[in-house]
Amino acid sequence: KNEVEQSPQNLTAQEGEFITINCSYSVGISALHWLQQHPGGGIVSLFMLSSGKKKHGRLIATINIQEKHSSLHITASHPRDSAVYICAVRWGSQGNLIFGKGTKLSVKP
């Protein structure tokens, strides 16, 4: 059983729409990462958070530790936001990362 679940698996949106990607996890964690993987394959770390909310440009990430849930929001989405967004949680004494399977986002012009 995957301990990190993302939803939706696939998401298609029109340019300008507000987008939400969800991540739920089943273990106690010390931090959660949101990663972005573009069609070319490169992976970029967007956020690392352990509580509350972080914002960077049009991207907002929130986490609720009690509910074991995080969301990634994209405001005013753009075709260049099209990518796979991956949630990863850090747990355990060594801090290993466990990854979700990703959400494939496609933003149409």
Partner 1 sequence: DAGVIQSPRHEVTEMGQEVTLRCKPISGHDYLFWYRQTMMRGLELLIYFNNNVPIDDSGMPEDRFSAKMPNASFSTLKIQPSEPRDSAVYFCASSLGRYYYGYTFGSGTRLTVV
Q: Work out which of 83, 88, 89, 105 binds partner 1, going by CB under 8 A.
A: 88
Query: Does residue 14 bind partner 1 (CB under 8 A)?
Result: no
Tell me which residue of 38, 82, 88, 40 sits closest to 61, measured CA to CA.
Answer: 88
From residue 55 to residue 84, the character string flagging contacts with partner 1 as x (rule: CB under 8 A) and all else as - is ------------------------------
Name which of residues 24 to 53 contact partner 1 (CB under 8 A). 31, 33, 35, 41-45, 48
Query: Is 99 in contact with 86 (CB distance < 8 Å)?
Result: yes
Query: Does residue 96 bind partner 1 (CB under 8 A)?
Result: yes
Q: Which residues contact 77 (CB under 8 A, 6 or more apart)?
A: 13, 14, 15, 16, 17, 18, 19, 58, 107
